[in-house]
Structures are given as structure tokens and as C-alpha cells.
Chains A and B, each alone.
Chain A
Amino acid sequence: MLNCHEASQLASSRMEAVLPLTKRVSLGVHLALCRHCRRFARQIERLRRVARATQTEAGAELSQEARERLRYALQQQARGTGD
């Protein structure tokens, strides 16, 4: 019988790889009996959905200096002088 620590590890691993049958069954049994681990499993799946929907860092903006450096690098390249 898995404990919650082990079950939560498997709940995480199954998001990247297919678990071997015995582990899948043990996890299934544990989740059927444990609402805390069910929540954990649901919530880490939800973190994935939220992450996929959040592709950029809110409020991240290039500084004026960074903008200048970029413009310069691009001009150099456009003139064919390389970097």
C-alpha cells in the first residue's frame, strides 16, 4: 500500500511518462481512497493548464538601454558587419 508521499510522486511522474501497470494500479487504489492525494493530482494538472495559458511574464519590459543595445546589434547585422 502506497503512502501519500509515494502516491504524490507517482501522480507527478505520470504526467511525463506512462507508469508501469503495477504502479498505475497502486496509484489508482490510493487515489480512490485518499481525497488529499486526489486534490494534489488535480491541482498539479491544473498548474499545467495555467502554465500553458500563461506564456509571458506579466510586466516584463525591456529597459531603454537594452532597447538601444538591441537596435545597435540589429543595425550591425543588417550592414553585414556581423557582431
Chain B
Amino acid sequence: MSHADILYAFAMARLRDSALAEEAVQETLLAALTAQQSRHTDFRGESAVRTWLTGILKHKVIDLFRRQAQARTAGDLQETLEQAQFDANGHWRLKPGEWPTPEAAVEQREMGRALSRCIGALPNPAASVFSFTELDGIPQQEICNKLGISPTNYRVILYRARLALRRCMEQHGFGLNGEP
């Protein structure tokens, strides 16, 4: 079941809900099975299979997210988040600190874990909008269409997510010389 576990971890990074992630894995594997039955697919090696499966999953994940978003009262990142970081004149209250360089592989992994935790602390839809944009690089237009949000709203959600995440990363110890 190792494919299923990878798919599940992949879905969890985007949906952050175990029941939804399980559904995404199931729909992906069922779709894969159907595709296999209807035409002969020949893969060279495990990694090709995995790439194919995660490709299917990416679409399932965003569809599932849209379906459940309709039934949910959206918690969103509020304007107070911006007010906490900027004063009335628009100057930084919480000045960004210097982050460590260079970006060594080990450090990158550590940052990855911290970023996952920080994304997990965001309310939805901010967490998923950020994930679809930054983990998957799905174009703005497609995300707006699928999730039914306006381009303006999308920009605001993403901006606030970035403000919150940048701050959260510093709270996890990634800011050097910054203010506490």
C-alpha cells in the first residue's frame, strides 16, 4: 500500500482533513484502476506510476476541496492580521528579520517541516489556496474558477497567508536578527 500512503500524505498537505484526504486517495485509486482496465498502460518503473497517480490526485484534491467548501462556513484570515503587522501609516510593526542563507538541503527540509506546520495553522480556504498555488503551481485563473473566488479575493487571501506564514516561520526560529 505504499502508493496509497504517499498519496495520502500528498492529499493531507493540501486538504488538511483526514476524511477528505482518504476520499481523495480512494477516488484516485479507483480512477487509476478504471484507466488501467480500459486501456493498457505501460509504466517504466515505480516512479512513473507515482507521477501518474499524483497527477490524478491533484485534480481530485481541488474538486473535493470545492465540494466541501460549499458546505462549510469559511473561516478566513481577517484584516486584523494586516493591522497586527503594520501600523496606521503602513509601516512594519513586526519587521521581517534576516533569514539564514545559504539554502542547504538539510535546512530546506527543516524549513519544509516548519512550513507544513504553519500552513496547518492557517484557517481554510487560506491554507488550501496557498497549497494549490505554491505546492502545485496551479494558475490563478484555474483556482479562482474552481473555488469560485474573485481574483481580488484570491490576491487578498494569498497575501494574508504569506504574511501569516512568514511570521509563523520566524516564530519557529527562522528569523535571525529580527524582532521577537
Tell me whether A62 and B30 are in contact in the complex, defined as CB-CB below 8 angstroms, given that A54-B116, A54-B135 are known contacts: no
Interface SS of A by simple majority: helix
B22 to chain A, nearest CB (A): 5
A60 to chain B, nearest CB (A): 4
Interface SS of B by simple majority: helix
Contacts of A12 in B (CB 8 A): 155, 158-159, 162
Tell me whether A61 and B163 are in contact in the complex, defined as CB-CB below 8 angstroms, given that A16-B155, A69-B26 are known contacts: no
Number of A-B contacts (CB under 8 A): 136
0/1 interface trace, chain B 140-164, chain A, CB 8 Å (1 if under): 1000000000000011001100110
Contact B103 A57 (CB under 8 A): no
Number of interface residues of B (CB under 8 A): 55
Out of A5, A44, A56, name the residue touching B9 (CB < 8 Å).
Answer: A56
A interface residues with partner B (beta carbon < 8 Å): 3-6, 8-9, 12-13, 16-17, 36-37, 39-40, 42-44, 46-63, 66-67, 69-70, 73-74, 77-78, 83
Task: Flag the segment in B40-48, B66-74, B92-100 that touches A.
Answer: B92-100
Contact B1 A57 (CB under 8 A): no
Out of A42, A51, A63, A66, name the residue touching B134 (CB < 8 Å).
Answer: A51
Interface presence of B90 (CB below 8 A): yes
Contact B8 A60 (CB under 8 A): yes
Contact B13 A54 (CB under 8 A): yes
